[in-house]
Structure 1
């Protein structure tokens, strides 16, 4: 009998990270494709058969990718250029691939020397996979072949700008997996079938108990449970570190930003009936011990130099203190950074009410001398602004959703509701408002926590209509804000919020750090 070993490597949710640095501080950080490259090259020296797959969300997410799209897009995309250099076998379309628009995505796909897969993103006119291939077959000289099927969370219409996806339909991932796995097993007869799904797990891997609202955003557990014929399921989207076996399917999820890489070592044995899979061993590899690949760094240096020059431009100053010492306290008590962002949004949209979030716990606020680096390290998403027409009741419902961010812990103090950080950090789904006055009492039951709500000192009329500015993600209902979904769009400001913030500084030069304490979070029995 003859044994064959295959090593499957997975990156996912790279979010534009190539260089091992934190752009907000410019300090070294153990992440990115340059470090991953060193690991991949090391594996290929020792393993005769390798398959390398990216699971999606790779072309968006850093100042480098943002600057490239805005200022260098006549050049080749630095991410696809790097993936080409590393000889990826396939990539899956992720939800953030659409953030910069279809023109940027199509350019990245056209420049790639590997196929982009997504069986369930369909052309609206033809009902066929929009990006060409739902799956690929990789054949090896030893006579065995591997099928790789790509799937993408079909929840994208709940987040993405409609003009970016107007030619597409998104089929249910689970339904699509059932059909295509059956097709591949029947017609291709692969010795190993891999599904690479840009989506995550909605249930506990061991118990099968739901860990989130079963919206359809993440269907990995159901795919393992209900779709027969899958050997390996590569996952992502949630930024989790996962390995295991679910209903006989070997699974991996390798975190985000290129800090880790997923690996599955497969051993096959040749029998009279063909190749038989003897073992599948999943692992997550931390790339920290590996030095960045100097070839990769040299290749993208022109992009990096231009990005760094742009980031270090001073664009304005702060009069007062807009530094963040504790992200949790920002959400408990109004902070000048949040007030500033809301005021800029209202200024840009010409409305009186706004909401925004503190997007992650690493935000440091703005120093006295403000550069583009400071802007992009605090406002990390390529959001634009949308003005919606909503009712007073819609605002109350939205505030109740935000109020669910808090619980009273065992110590009797206000804490973060675990559903906002497990299984995936979702601190960006807690909004703070300007233009209205409100009080959240965390001691009250969920849905009954907004104990006062007014505008200009007068109670908000539940039936009256108001114009509210918010980011485009929230305006589509993203973050379980269903009250905003399908509401009338009054106007859209098609400029990235980072650019709007920079323009505000360039116009006003100096911004005063201040708050008006229009909202409170309390715990009163």
Structure 2
């Protein structure tokens, strides 16, 4: 916008990424096959966009620091070294980053060190210090003054639902304020005190309602409040969203421009804003958003070189043999794994029961790319099968809670016709992002899911494996599960606020590796304790 007369219009571009989840290099760690994603390709895209537009603002919208073996290796084994994700982002030179929910997975000390190494501010206006009510990370917003005096304010917000997922020791001293209430306060500051000309809200959270109809698309828990932000907070021009891993362009809610840039560095969101100065005031004339896919782009060599030393260590570590499996735990069809008992799921549940010192457990096949185990086992395979930094909890629940949880799990299926060939996944588990991780499979009980029946009435058999007796709905049972589920995450409200019998503050992936290393050989077993029927 340099040298633009006051009566003329100018253009700026707001670039945004979100939910990169530790993805730097363009290949999968599980099998080293190439992927069209990652910061190395994002860097190339952003350089091109900065050449295209004279004025740009780049914001990363959160969930940066966790998600790959690289991030796991650094956090758990080499945290004294500079954070590789921060080093890469420093090369990209964002104007700001927003704190996402997964930023807390390795603890607040780890997060604060990452922030200390960052050459850009981390924003989160609604994460407050319990002692004084002020933003705990100190920076609720940032302002960038562009040519001709145009001032753009960027307010950062983080989903307030984090206490329902995260380990309590990782969020000690933080008050998670409602994002709408925080936005109402800080947007007013940006408008009336900072006198910005354009207000951008970057919210690590998604949309809880259909953008056109306004109908709820998920339970109104407070996890995603993007629609509410746009509809209820005056003064927002552009709302950047995330968390749901969606690509959203050219959408509006009550005049507010809505965008979301996908996940894992598969592309960059670009919002082109046409401004005009009229009577000494800048006004928005036009806004157009697009998504720049990185497929086919050449990875930035500077990014590759930046992580090369620690990446070499990661690859050696991943390929270390930790044991072997006798039999076959291979996942050949993820859909079939969710229809009847599978050796991999039975094994993970056995590990959880061992370390949880209990006889009932549940887990999920988190992702359709999980390979399972066969022959020699490496850390690469462990982390490919258990991709999240979950820890283990044992909580005490009632038989009714178990029944209700199984009915919730059974809602994963949509079956409109008789016969297994017609089994489909409920669209609620696919849109706005895949949620296979919210379909649980259990060990220590025997059960049957009949998906020809109505949702909420699908559990036709439920016994305790050890006794063969019917589950007592009024009785209590100790169940091992990951901490996300134990907090009620994934719409399992029946588990929230239950008595914690045992808290094992170790990543379940580490427990799996430890279990294998202690034994040297593990065995593929299958007791067929559950199935899905039509």
- 1:389 is the counterpart of 2:400: no
Match of 2:221, SS state, is coil
Match of 2:480, SS state, is strand
Match of 1:309, SS state, is helix
- 1:468 is the counterpart of 2:479: yes
Where in structure 1 do 4 or more consecutive aligned residues deviate above 4 Å?
Answer: none
The residue aligned with 1:51 is 57
What per-residue deviation string (whole Å, max 9, x for no partner) do you get for residues 380-420 of structure 1? 00111001111111111111111111121357522211111
The residue aligned with 2:205 is 199
Are 2:45 and 2:292, in contact at CA under 8 Å, matched by a contact in 1?
Answer: no
What per-residue deviation string (whole Å, max 9, x for no partner) do you get for residues 441-483 of structure 1? 1122222211111112111111221111100100101111111
For structure 1, list consecutive stretches of 5 or more residues without a partner in the other structure. Answer: none
2-structure distance, mates of 1:249, 1:141:
24
Deviates more, 1:445-454 or 1:28-37: 445-454
The residue aligned with 1:169 is 175
2-structure distance, mates of 1:411, 1:457:
29
What per-residue deviation string (whole Å, max 9, x for no partner) do you get for residues 244-286 of structure 1? 2221111111111001111101111122232121111111110
The residue aligned with 2:11 is 5
The residue aligned with 1:498 is 509
2-structure distance, mates of 1:219, 1:449:
31
Q: CA RMSD in A?
A: 1.2
Are 2:418 and 2:452, in contact at CA under 8 Å, matched by a contact in 1?
Answer: no
2-structure distance, mates of 1:86, 1:411:
53
Are 1:9 and 1:50, in contact at CA under 8 Å, matched by a contact in 2?
Answer: yes
1-structure distance, mates of 2:12, 2:417:
49
Are 1:387 and 1:490, in contact at CA under 8 Å, matched by a contact in 2?
Answer: yes
Match of 1:459, SS state, is coil
The residue aligned with 2:4 is none
Are 1:60 and 1:99, in contact at CA under 8 Å, matched by a contact in 2?
Answer: yes
Are 2:8 and 2:276, in contact at CA under 8 Å, matched by a contact in 1?
Answer: yes
2-structure distance, mates of 1:520, 1:39:
47
Tell me how far 1:2 sits from its aligned partner: 2.6
- 1:140 is the counterpart of 2:179: no
Tell me how far 1:370 sits from its aligned partner: 1.1
Are 2:362 and 2:480, in contact at CA under 8 Å, matched by a contact in 1?
Answer: yes
- 1:127 is the counterpart of 2:138: no
Are 1:318 and 1:511, in contact at CA under 8 Å, matched by a contact in 2?
Answer: yes
The residue aligned with 1:516 is 527
Match of 1:356, SS state, is strand
The residue aligned with 1:403 is 410
- 1:341 is the counterpart of 2:348: yes
The residue aligned with 2:3 is none
Are 1:118 and 1:131, in contact at CA under 8 Å, matched by a contact in 2?
Answer: yes
| Aligned positions of 1:2-401 closer than 5 A | 2-243=8-249, 244-401=251-408
What per-residue deviation string (whole Å, max 9, x for no partner) do you get for residues 180-214 of structure 1? 11221111121111000001111112222221112
1-structure distance, mates of 2:22, 2:155:
23
1-structure distance, mates of 2:400, 2:279:
69
Match of 1:385, SS state, is strand
Match of 1:431 among 408, 419, 440: 440
1-structure distance, mates of 2:52, 2:496:
52
Are 2:123 and 2:141, in contact at CA under 8 Å, matched by a contact in 1?
Answer: yes
- 1:443 is the counterpart of 2:449: no
Match of 1:61, SS state, is coil
Are 2:204 and 2:243, in contact at CA under 8 Å, matched by a contact in 1?
Answer: yes
TM-score normalised over the length of structure 1: 0.98
What per-residue deviation string (whole Å, max 9, x for no partner) do you get for residues 321-351 of structure 1? 1111111110101110000000011111111
Aligned residues: 523
* CA spacing shift, 1:260–1:409, aligned 2, 3 Å: farther
2-structure distance, mates of 1:347, 1:508:
13
1-structure distance, mates of 2:362, 2:413:
18
Match of 2:311, SS state, is helix
Are 2:416 and 2:452, in contact at CA under 8 Å, matched by a contact in 1?
Answer: no
- 1:414 is the counterpart of 2:423: yes
Are 1:342 and 1:354, in contact at CA under 8 Å, matched by a contact in 2?
Answer: yes
2-structure distance, mates of 1:214, 1:174:
14
Are 2:353 and 2:361, in contact at CA under 8 Å, matched by a contact in 1?
Answer: yes
Match of 1:308, SS state, is helix
